[in-house]
Structure 1
Amino acid sequence: MSGPTAPSRYDFEYPDEAEHPGGKSTLSQDQTVLIDELLDNPHASASAADFEVVNDQKAGIYEATVGDREIAGLSYNVADDDRLVLLAISVFPEFRKKGIATELIRQVLDDVRAQGKTVTVMCPIVRTFIENNPEYAGLVDSKHPGVTKGPRRS
């Protein structure tokens, strides 16, 4: 007889409306690399001067660029006038482990705050960032928080 396993840094639960079977999802290797980056070096952050963040509202993505090259992005949907659904972050492999993900998430959440909006977090990497940076927890919409950490409570 074995007891429940302890939650790992890769255990996330999705709300029913996300339509993940059983409310759980297996993270990709790319996602685990970014979560490891956030958790293993939580204070690493690329300088804002290292890249520019542009909100492409038509495409629904905050793009991090160096010159004319996109190096990372955080996609989103507009849920209503007051809320964004943060879907997924990606960082090109050669730019990982440099704090790009951390700084991109920080700049996106700062922009959301400046607009007076809230977020629903469907991206486990963004959820991990917020859990480790509680000053951003107030941006998560209480009615639609999105993905959560650990086993679902009945």
Structure 2
Amino acid sequence: MTGPTEPNRSTIDDADSAGPDLPTQGQAVVTDDASDDPHAPAFDFDVVNDERTGVYEAKVGGTDVAGLTYRAASENRLVLLATSVFPEFRNQGIATELIRRVLDDVRAQRKTVTITCPVVRTFIEHNSAYADLIDPEHPGTGNAAHRS
């Protein structure tokens, strides 16, 4: 169990590697928990896939509110690296909805994923309908890679 000063969320210490539109190093980014509550309020935002920088961006108007960074490992596989939400937009279900929309896009493109992001891993563990998107040869890290 975590105390008030110990968030139960994943921290990205080096956000510089996440892409140019996300916070820079020195601004620790704490990602939203991947919620398994289907009734959690979802923040209304658009998702833009910036293939040049490798970021699925969550945007409200012209403002970035979150991002899921990735790397194209092959023509048919993405490595999902990290999910981050800007501090003022946390705890509104943004990470959960962003991950859902990214995975839906991956499915529509008939691609698979390798998971290195612990938030994506947790999301798939709680939403098994997405488990088939995990590449069997390159599942990534954590328990989401196992199949029952």
Q: Please, what TM-score do these two structures have when normalized by structure 2?
A: 0.73
After superposition, what is the alpha-carbon deviation per residue over 1:74-122, rounded to whole angstroms, capped at 9, x for unaligned? 0000000110000000001111111100100000000000000000000
Q: Is the 8 A contact 1:127 1:148 kept in 2?
A: yes
Q: Is the 8 A contact 1:60 1:76 kept in 2?
A: yes
Residue in structure 1 matched with residue 40 of structure 2 by the alignment: 44
Structure with higher helix content: 1
2:101 aligned with 1:101, yes or no? no
**How has the CA–CA distance of structure 1 residues 29 and 59 changed in structure 2, closer, same or farther, with 3 Å as cutoff?**
closer
How many angstroms apart in 2 are the aligned matches of 1:64 and 1:71?
6
Q: State the Cα distance separating 1:30 from its structure 2 match.
A: 1.7
Runs of 4+, deviation exceeding 4 Å? none
2:80 aligned with 1:86, yes or no? yes
How many angstroms apart in 2 are the aligned matches of 1:103 and 1:45?
10
The 5-angstrom pairing of residues 17-36 of structure 1 reads 30-31=30-31, 34-35=32-33
- Equivalent residue of 1:38, what SS? coil
Higher RCO by CA contacts (8 Å cutoff, separation 6 or greater): 1
Percent of aligned positions with the same letter in both sequences?
59
Structure 2: segments with no counterpart, 5+ residues: 1-7, 10-27
Q: State the Cα distance separating 1:141 from its structure 2 match.
A: 0.4
- Equivalent residue of 2:71, what SS? strand
Structure 1: segments with no counterpart, 5+ residues: 1-8, 11-27
Cα root mean square deviation, aligned: 2.2
Q: Name which one, 1 or 2, has greater alpha-carbon Rg.
A: 1
Q: Please, what TM-score do these two structures have when normalized by structure 1?
A: 0.71
The residue identity in structure 2 corresponding to 1:92 is F
How many angstroms apart in 1 are the aligned matches of 2:55 and 2:108?
17
Number of aligned positions between the proteins: 119
